[in-house]
A and B are shown apart, each in its own frame.
Chain A
């Protein structure tokens, strides 16, 4: 598949990366998610600080946002810049996670540009609760997600180990990510 050029398509790096990612470029997609993750992390830290919530769960908010971006990427209109769309989702998810932590009134978060300009790298020791949520998945799904994420295996290697076709692994992975999103929504931290 080759990247389409859309008339009047936005020319900022994120929008171009997402267009390439949707056209099937895995490497670009990974870099885009890492980039977005750094900005969302800065934003979540600011929001958590303002709400007086400790920063223990920041990585959860970041990961929940990334998962939502992934599962809802078809709602991005390629004729619009990506950043406002990302910001809307991040804001929604960060506010959601603050609410789950008992903050009724959450102040609106403005100036996403600020967080775009001051991204924050991942703390290699910060772990999310996702591992706990993985427990809710069917064993085969959990095995596949763990293999690809925690163990860093490729789809091909995972398929071989589980004697499944690559297509079956991809389908199972997709279902698992969807259930993970649902489990996150239901979880009360």
Chain B
């Protein structure tokens, strides 16, 4: 086929409904969140002493950190979905949750006696946490990957991994309302483990479904 012939076909193709990637991804997150919330309602629920815990710094830090991770991951995912993305400045914001978490860990190590370190790190829910963050993130990740198929990422695996990170961040916000373990030692160990699983799955899904 000659190129001029292809161009004839392309210009005869109707103008599509404009696709707004941001809105599409927002709708996907809302949809995935509905499923995640049902899993949450069936399997988990608020922790019993929620109101009391909400007044403690350790508890609040979990949400600050999850939010500080979810937001830049999500914005980066959206940027990377465009071929002319220049995401460097935004990528630096991913350091924020790491710094907050590291600071929390350092303070915890100072204020808590050494013989309690291990029990705080292991907590009550280590395995459950590592499993439930990916479980709550899965519906969101799946919906976001479908939405991102309208994009044109130059790095499909990286884009998928960041979608996994954003989903894990949102799942962590949800999970943190259930989990009785608030120590930064626990949060810095098991939450990232669950998040890495989500990012790995996201990378594989991205490579498979986001190439164009």
Does chain B have a CB within 8 A of A130?
A: yes
Query: Given the interface contacts A26-B11, A75-B82, does A66 sit within 8 Å of B6 by beta carbon?
Result: yes
Asked if A84 and B84 make an inter-chain contact with CB atoms under 8 angstroms apart, the answer reads yes
Contact of B12 among A76, A130, A148 (CB under 8 A): A148
A contact residues around B150 at 8 Å (CB): 74-75
What is the minimal beta-carbon distance from B48 to any residue of chain A, in angstroms? 47
Q: Which of B67-98 contact A (CB under 8 A)?
A: 81-84
B contact residues around A134 at 8 Å (CB): 1
Bound CA–CA A181/B1 (angstroms): 14
What is the minimal beta-carbon distance from A14 to any residue of chain B, in angstroms? 13
Does chain A have a CB within 8 A of B14?
A: yes
Asked if B83 and A130 make an inter-chain contact with CB atoms under 8 angstroms apart, the answer reads no
Bound CA–CA A29/B6 (angstroms): 13
Asked if B212 and A72 make an inter-chain contact with CB atoms under 8 angstroms apart, the answer reads yes
Asked if B154 and A66 make an inter-chain contact with CB atoms under 8 angstroms apart, the answer reads no
Closest-by-CB residue of B relative to A158 is B12
Asked if B2 and A122 make an inter-chain contact with CB atoms under 8 angstroms apart, the answer reads yes
Closest-by-CB residue of A relative to B151 is A75
Interface centre among B3, B10, B15 (most CB of A within 10 A): B3
Q: Which of A47-85 contact B (CB under 8 A)?
A: 59, 62-63, 66-68, 70-72, 74-77, 80, 84-85
Bound CA–CA A37/B15 (angstroms): 20
Number of interface residues, chain B, beta carbon within 8 A: 29
Contact of B5 among A27, A68, A74, A150 (CB under 8 A): A150
Bound CA–CA A71/B150 (angstroms): 9
Asked if B14 and A170 make an inter-chain contact with CB atoms under 8 angstroms apart, the answer reads yes
Q: Which of A21-52 contact B (CB under 8 A)?
A: 21-24, 26-27, 29-30, 33-34, 37, 41
Does chain B have a CB within 8 A of A111?
A: no
Asked if A126 and B12 make an inter-chain contact with CB atoms under 8 angstroms apart, the answer reads no
Bound CA–CA A83/B155 (angstroms): 20
Does chain A have a CB within 8 A of B9?
A: yes
A79-93 to B contact mask, C-beta < 8 Å, 1/0: 010001101110010
Bound CA–CA A80/B85 (angstroms): 11
Asked if A66 and B7 make an inter-chain contact with CB atoms under 8 angstroms apart, the answer reads yes
Query: Given the interface contacts A145-B9, A149-B9, does A68 sit within 8 Å of B152 by beta carbon?
Result: yes
Bound CA–CA A134/B82 (angstroms): 28
Asked if A33 and B10 make an inter-chain contact with CB atoms under 8 angstroms apart, the answer reads yes
Does chain B have a CB within 8 A of A189?
A: no
Interface centre among B7, B81, B154, B211 (most CB of A within 10 A): B7
A contact residues around B9 at 8 Å (CB): 145, 148-149, 173, 177
Asked if B12 and A26 make an inter-chain contact with CB atoms under 8 angstroms apart, the answer reads yes
Q: List 21 A-B contacts (CB under 8 A).
A: A21-B15, A22-B18, A27-B11, A30-B11, A59-B2, A63-B3, A70-B10, A72-B83, A75-B81, A77-B82, A80-B84, A87-B84, A88-B83, A92-B83, A122-B3, A128-B6, A148-B9, A149-B1, A149-B8, A154-B12, A170-B13
Q: Apart from A174-B13, A185-B211, what are 9 other A-B pairs with CB-CB below 8 Å?
A: A22-B18, A68-B212, A72-B83, A72-B212, A127-B2, A154-B12, A173-B12, A177-B9, A177-B13
Query: Which residues of B are in contact with A by a Cβ distance under 8 Å?
Result: 1-16, 18-19, 21, 81-84, 150-152, 154, 211-212
Q: Which 9 A-B pairs have the closest CB atoms?
A: A130-B1, A149-B9, A88-B83, A30-B11, A149-B5, A72-B152, A74-B19, A85-B84, A88-B84
